[in-house]
A and B are shown apart, each in its own frame.
Chain A
Amino acid sequence: ILNVEQSPQSLHVQEGDSTNFTCSFPSSNFYALHWYRWETAKSPEALFVMTLNGDEKKKGRISATLNTKEGYSYLYIKGSQPEDSATYLCAFNAGGTSYGKLTFGQGTILTVHP
Chain B
Amino acid sequence: GAGVSQSPSNKVTEKGKDVELRCDPISGHTALYWYRQSLGQGLEFLIYFQGNSAPDKSGLPSDRFSAERTGGSVSTLTIQRTQQEDSAVYLCASSLDTPSPLHEQFFGPGTRLTVL
Contact = CB atoms under 8 A, between A and B. Distances in A.
B113 to A, nearest CB: 17
Report whether over half of chain B's contact residues are helix, strand or loop; otherwise say mixed.
Answer: loop
Interface in B81-109: 91, 93, 99-109
A98 interface: yes
Interface string B18-39: 0000000000000101010000
B55 interface: yes
Given A99-B100, A101-B58, A102-B101, A44 B107 contact: yes
A32 B107 contact: no
A46 B35 CA distance: 15
Contact of B103 (A31, A43, A45, A49): A49
- Interface size class of chain A, counting residues whose CB lies under 8 Å from the partner chain: 20 to 34
B106 A46 contact: yes
Contact of B59 (A44, A97, A101, A105): A101
Interface of B: 3-4, 31, 33, 35, 41-45, 48, 50, 55-56, 58-59, 91, 93, 99-110
